[in-house]
Structure 1
Amino acid sequence: MNGHGMTRPPRRIRGAGWLAGLVGGWGLLLAGCAAPLPEADTSPAAEAAFEERTEQLVALDSWRLVARLGLASGEEYWSAQLNWRVQEGQHVLDLSGPMGRGGGRLTLSDNGRALLVTRSGERFQAQDPDTLVARVLGESIPVSGMIYWVRGLLHPEASYQLDIDADGRPLEILQSGWAIEYTEFEEVDGVSMPVAMVLEREEVELRARIGRWQLGPDETW
């Protein structure tokens, strides 16, 4: 299940510096994610379970999640609420106060082009979401990778290293220079979906806590 050209770093204790400084419900929410993880499983049965899960999720062209995000970069910390809707390949991400900078709507077309409209009405466009977000926020947030990682999938166009458990759920993905660690799952329509994860690269750490998933067409929200 491992990709090529990547050397696996040792596992780290994540978030020890900035997490200690958080207060209130958000700090307690993230602290509650630190449950012991299962051991990695390299058996053919585990790999087959991962592939079956991947096929189930890739077949869905509509899904939705609501999450809370926390981004730490150097000595700075920002938080945001995220409502992410996907319908027939088009992604609409509504951010409330993204990283403390006002909020807005990010729309990704099926050809990858990105449009951000801020709450003040400013419009920004780019050929890909990563370039757009870095330009506007001044922070590196891997939106193109998160399209896959948030569902516990591999980006199909990048090399990788992968740890999975006996049920085929991802424990950690190393891809595109990011380490994505999954700390909690829940069953949604018979599929194990991530509800807590940490993404880390160099001095940047992004934590996500997903409060609700919907798989399939948006009929109930």
Structure 2
Amino acid sequence: MRAIRAFMASACVALLLAGCVSHTVRTPAVPVDHAQAQAQDARRAEVVDWSLSGRIAVSNGKQGGSGRIDWENRAERYAVSLSAPVTRQSWRLAGDAAHARLEGIQGGPRESDDVEEMLRETTGWDIPVRAMTYWVRGVGAASDEFGPARVVYGEGNRPVRLEQAGWVIDFEQWQGAGEPAMPTRLVATRSGAKVRLIVDEWSLDAPR
């Protein structure tokens, strides 16, 4: 536990957070075509094979850290690699809806059928991994597991805020081009927990 916390805490926190200080997201007073918004949501939801690379910062209200992130998703399976260039430490999380394995931590790999609980026990942070496979695409997670999602749309008929399972996800920036357009800056918060993601590059495979 100490090893992974030290890894994250030492991983260029200032670089990530200083460049994107959190701002209150206000609902834009712009016309929204809800039919168009829902059509865009459907397009993003169809993209289940994708990868992204960028930067992530997490905080539990007392401790925080950041690092580089590479995330590959194939249908229900995910593989997330996190690295700290300064310390050259890294860890890898892979799994699906039913099982997950965490590598690169002190004491050897850990496995669990509850990825969020495993991360809380190992890192002390609340990271909604399974729901974020949806949220990073700007769509609500499966309602039968995470409950209903409330979405607020803004410019370009794109989500500016999504609320689900007690989390609030603010979409601060989207791709300037591309179809479907994908989020490039978002922050998810619940109580004292915060996860901020900046996507430097998206790679989308065609829907099956």
Q: 1:123 to 1:159 in 2, by over 3 A?
A: same
1:145 is matched by which residue type in structure 2? A
Write out per-residue CA displacement over residues 26-69 of structure 1, whole angstroms, 9 at most, x where no aligned residue: 344213x75986616685xx322222122212222310101211
Match of residue 16 from structure 2: 26
CA contact (8 A) 2:116 2:126 kept: yes
1:209 is matched by which residue type in structure 2? I
Write out per-residue CA displacement over residues 187-206 of structure 1, whole angstroms, 9 at most, x where no aligned residue: 45322211111111111222
Q: TM-score, normalised by structure 2?
A: 0.79
Write out per-residue CA displacement over residues 94-132 of structure 1, whole angstroms, 9 at most, x where no aligned residue: 1114xx9x53111123x4311111266821111132122
- After superposition, residues 186-205 of structure 1 pair within 5 angstroms as 186-187=175-176, 189-205=178-194
2: CA distance, partners of 1:78 / 1:28 = 13
CA contact (8 A) 1:188 1:214 kept: no
2: CA distance, partners of 1:168 / 1:143 = 26
Match of residue 135 from structure 1: 121
Q: TM-score, normalised by structure 1?
A: 0.74
Unaligned runs of 5+ in 1: 1-21
How much identity, in percent, do the aligned residues show? 21
Tell me how large the CA RMSD over aligned residues is.
2.8
Match of residue 184 from structure 1: 173
1:50 to 22, 26, 37: 37
2: CA distance, partners of 1:50 / 1:112 = 31
CA contact (8 A) 2:17 2:57 kept: no
Unaligned runs of 5+ in 2: 1-11
Cα deviation for residue 134 of structure 1 reads 1.5
Q: 1:105 to 1:52 in 2, by over 3 A?
A: same
Indicate the SS of the match to 2:19: helix
The answer to whether the aligner puts 1:71 opposite 2:47 as a matched pair is no
Cα deviation for residue 179 of structure 1 reads 0.7
2: CA distance, partners of 1:201 / 1:61 = 26
Q: 1:119 to 1:72 in 2, by over 3 A?
A: closer
Indicate the SS of the match to 1:67: strand
Q: How many residues align?
A: 190
1:151 to 128, 137, 143: 137
